[in-house]
Amino acid sequence: MPTSVKMPHMGESVAEGTIAKWLKAEGEPVAKDEPLVEVTSDKVDYEIPAPTAGRLARILVQEGRTVAVGAELAVIEEAEAVAAPSPVPEPEAVLAESPVEAKAPAAGPAAPRAPSAVRHGDRKITPVVARLAEQHGLDLDRVEGTGVGGRVTKQDVLAHLEGGRPAGAQVAPAAPVGREARPSPAAPPRPAEPAPPARAPVREAPPDEPVEAVPLTGMRRAIAEHMAESVRTAAHVTTVAEVDLTRLVAFRERHKKEFEEQEGFSLTYLPFIVRATVTALKEYPGLNASLEGDRLLLKKYYHIGIAVALDWGLIVPVIRHADRLDIRGLARAIHDLAERARTRHLAAEETRGGTFSITNPGVYGAVLSTPIIHQPQAAILGVEAIRKAAAVRDEQIVIRSLMYLCLSYDHRIVDGATAVQFLQAIRRRLESPLELIL
């Protein structure tokens, strides 16, 4: 039985991926779980393993092409279905291998295979990229590559043309761009690819009201769909609590230099917030849950998603079993995930399976926000900026380090009283930082 290799789901807001490099050629044997193809997306670079042992019978999507999640990439003939190879295959056997295209006999010269990559100076590019550059007279040294190892992909070229061509210039028709080779005059014409859906015309703006039309990237489009779906699905409510972080600020000031010398990166407040949150989730399990039909699934494990802002969007890598880590372990995990997210070195599974999320707009100066729940979770915690402010303590006005925590939760799952109690449990622990360390 032939087995399909499909573009996997690579994160909640990843809708498509680009084939960067095939690690096996058609006809080569593959072992189960052996890396088969490198895929790059807006968020992660990923190796797709072979789902079964056998022979790579057909490659359906060539390097440089971008396809949606779930698209079929290749076909593997399983080991049981592959006959033992003979030194010189019989013509009938060769014809039987493919109902569409017969291979040349082994004794004859092999048909030249289209190169999977060509060179432009010291950079590797795919034939599709080379043709696009030739069609548009484009200097690829001016195009920033976002593929594996800085490779310029088809999407990089198209994005450069969208942003850089003069007004009124025409882009080559979409049908020939994605093909691996142009048909020769003698070849029968290929069926025309479906035309893209018509776009609404851009409003003609007066000269003093310029408008730039920027197409949504795959990541931006996926984020838009995911956020809109969350708002349509969950009954969003946001509750805010004020936290006095004066003791925690003083504790960090005392220890941050020693910590940085030992670990090589700065100690932030986020590890303390994560630890306080996980402890509170154990007291209020409804916040660490999801709704599935008419069942409420209470998760007995704690996979905490940490939102990381990127230059090209947002990603939420997950700290798995965060309850098993102390402050130092959480600091290492947060730093590692954030660094690899920014360099697109996360594995796909590191962006899935979160049970609760934390976002930190305060690092950019935000004082108050209403975050959107990361489906199918029950809640998300927004961490706002720490600010010096006047507060009343023991009948006196004093200067304290204050911060708002903003909890958005699904009112179908969590009641308002529970949400407030959950926030107060986090607040109490953050205001007594030694409890988080012991």
| Catalytic (active site) residue 411 | yes
- Dihedral angle computed from the Cα positions of residues 91, 92, 97 and 99, in that order, rounded to the nearest 10 degrees: 110
Q: Tell me the pLDDT of the chain (438 aa) as tens digits.
A: 788 898 887 665 566 788 888 999 988 999 988 888 888 776 666 778 888 899 998 999 998 888 888 889 999 988 665 544 444 444 444 333 434 343 444 444 443 343 444 555 656 666 567 767 777 777 777 787 766 556 677 667 777 776 644 333 333 443 443 444 444 444 445 555 455 555 555 556 678 888 888 877 666 777 788 788 899 999 999 999 999 999 999 999 999 999 999 999 999 999 999 999 999 999 999 999 999 989 999 999 999 999 998 877 788 999 999 999 999 999 999 999 999 988 888 887 888 899 999 999 999 999 999 999 999 999 999 999 999 999 999 999 999 999 999 999 999 999 999 999 999 999 999 999 888 887
CA-based radius of gyration for the chain: 27
Round to whole Å and give the CA distance between 368 and 362.
8
- Bridge partners (DSSP) of residue 319 are 304
Return all residues near 364 (Cβ < 8 A) that are at least 6 apart.
309
Residues comprising the chain, all counted: 438
Global pTM value: 0.60
Q: Mind giving me the DSSP string for 403-417?
A: EEEEEEEETTT--HH
The yes or no reply on domain 2-97 and CATH 2.40.50.100 is yes
Which token pair is 322? 């965060």
At residue 120, the pLDDT reads: 57
Question: Which residues are 306's β-sheet partners?
Answer: 358
Nearest to 357 by CA among 336, 335, 373: 373
Question: DSSP H helical segments within 15-88, as ranges?
Answer: none
Q: Which helix (H) or strand (E) holds 242?
A: strand 236-244
Distance (Å, rounded) from C-alpha 394 to C-alpha 409?
34
Where do the domains of the chain lie?
2-97, 117-164, 235-437
- 410 belongs to the catalytic site: no
> In terms of CATH, what superfamily is 235-437?
Chloramphenicol acetyltransferase-like domain (3.30.559.10)
Q: How many CB atoms lie within 10 A of CB 120?
A: 15
CA atoms of 124 and 148, how far apart (whole Å): 10
> How distant, in Å, are the alpha carbons of 26, 293, 386 from that of 397?
75, 51, 18
pLDDT value of residue 365: 93
Annotated active-site residue in 255, 321, 345, 411: 411
* Given the residues 33, 255, 321, 415, the one annotated as active site: 415
> 2-97 with 117-164: one CATH topology?
no
CATH of 117-164, one of 4.10.320.10, 1.20.58.740, 3.40.228.10, 1.20.140.10: 4.10.320.10
**What is the dihedral angle through the alpha carbons of 270, 275, 278, 279, rounded to the nearest 10 degrees?**
-140
Selection from 13, 39, 49 nearest residue 354 by Cα: 13
